[in-house]
Amino acid sequence: MKNFLIITTFLFSLTHYSQDREECLTNLSIFAEYAKVKNYNEAYQPWLSLNSNCPDINSAIYVLGEKMLISFVKNSNDDQRSKYVNELIDLYDNWIKFFPKSKRGQNETGKILSMKAQSLIDYNLASDIEIVNIFDEAFTNDPKSFKSPKRLYNYFKTYFKVYKSGEGDVTLEKLFNKYEELTEKFEYEMDIYTNQLDKILNKENDGTPLSRTEVKNKRRYSVNLVACSTYLNNLNAIVAKESSCENLIPLYRKNFEQFKNDAVWLNRAASRMDSKECSDDPLFVELVEALHELNPSANSAYYLGLLNDKKGDSKLAIEYYNESIDLEVDNLKKAKTLYKIAVKFKKSGQFSKSRSYANRALKFQPSMGRAYLLIANLYASSANNCGSTQFEKRSIYWLALKEAKKAASVDASIKKLANRTVESYEGRAPSKTDIFSEDMGGKTISFNCWINKSITVPQLQ
């Protein structure tokens, strides 16, 4: 009799579970169908049932549920708004609890926590310190999935607000460390998009037609690069006043003895001093020498080249610059170093070397629009020094705008700047009236200065 009761109870529980499961699947189907077409009013009740009775049945409860609740928050009155906001925050907590990984098995806690922190910012639900703690947890435990440019930027922005308020334990040193970490994260994500974009550009340059997917991906990578570039620039603007030479030099001087055997710290300090034009200070020399002795690398060799450039020893500087390129194994980092060297040569008036290094950079990163713009500017800056007549001098702008157009076509992050540059150079190049009055249509002009190129004057139609 006892065994009969146990079996009966088990079968009843199994039947009840099966019915509950079937009801959950029905609600899931109804919710998903309505949510996908953004009919959220009809999706809400089945979602509530799913959220209460079977929160572990499918990740769509959270992926689509988040979009639904954000829509409700945006379009509801104050009385309902707070309810939906609270449900949204609870959704993130349950999302991490029941579906911390994607369907491919990849950890997504960093992404979800950062989304929660962003919502706390958007709806003013927590203090800056509380929000920073959530961002910290996301970035520390799962930086891989925490890659939204907007949320990375707001992480630093909130971190900076805590520093300025003096209410937390964020010191100037911690602020710079966080800045370096997030800058490196932005650059890491940008490198991923750039590598993918360069593969597509190389295929285009070879004359191979792109598939529909590749055209779509090209646009997507470009949009992501623009977003990363924009938010990284905003991040730089936030820290600009704090990262002056007056602040950097005493801070790095104070910590030099403690960190002189830490290659990461030395590299970050040297990089920051270089970018903020603090490299004339003797501390920069000590940082670079310590870095090169501890760990000879592409960066340390570059900085030694920079030091010798300042001393006027251009021969030794070029040797170190070339050593920097040889030591670097990552193509994108090679391109960045080559570009930095090209900029240094431009500043010192060595235009031919600057163009050479910019072109070398483009071989490693075809999507580096900055390099094309640099070459364009080199040509434009030589307008008064190349050509024997006024017409020839102004014709150099045709060469310049050609490079600027290339910049606009390969790099969406600087497209607006490149297009403005094109317009500027078109205004300075000879007009149709000039071509007619000088009878130059279709003729070839050779520039025998450092440019050593020729241009064919447009034919008048």
Q: What pLDDT band is residue 11 in, cutting at 50, 70 and 90?
A: very low
Integer Cα distance of 84 and 86 in angstroms: 5
40-53 pLDDT, tens digit per residue, is 999 999 999 999 99
Consecutive H or E run containing 456: strand 453-456
Q: What local confidence, expressed as pLDDT, does residue 295 receive?
A: 85
Integer Cα distance of 18 and 11 in angstroms: 10
Q: What local confidence, expressed as pLDDT, does residue 15 receive?
A: 44
Consecutive H or E run containing 298: helix 298-311
382-414 pLDDT, tens digit per residue, is 998 998 899 999 999 999 999 999 999 999 989
- Paired sense of beta strands 453-456 and 444-447, if any: antiparallel
Q: What local confidence, expressed as pLDDT, does residue 359 receive?
A: 97
Residues forming beta bridges with residue 454, ordered by sequence position: 446
What is the average pLDDT across 259-280?
91
180-230 pLDDT, tens digit per residue, is 999 999 999 999 999 999 999 998 888 899 999 999 999 999 999 999 999
Integer Cα distance of 240 and 143 in angstroms: 25
- Indicate the Cα dihedral angle 87, 89, 90, 92, nearest 10°: 130
Q: What local confidence, expressed as pLDDT, does residue 332 receive?
A: 92
DSSP three-state, residue 242: coil
Given a contact cutoff of 8 angstroms between Cβ atoms, the answer to whether 100 and 112 are in contact is: yes
Token reading at 20 = 């509950």
118-158 pLDDT, tens digit per residue, is 999 999 999 999 999 999 999 999 999 999 999 999 999 99
Q: What local confidence, expressed as pLDDT, does residue 310 receive?
A: 84
Q: Is 452 exposed, middle or buried (0-12, 13-18, 19+ CB in 10 A)?
A: exposed
Given a cut of 60, whether residue 248 has pLDDT beyond it is yes
pTM: 0.81
Ramachandran sector of residue 395 (left: φ over 0; alpha: ψ -120 to 50; beta: rest): alpha
Give every CB contact of residue 194 below 8 A, 6+ residues apart in sequence: 221, 225, 332, 365, 367
Integer Cα distance of 395 and 449 in angstroms: 14
Integer Cα distance of 315 and 323 in angstroms: 13
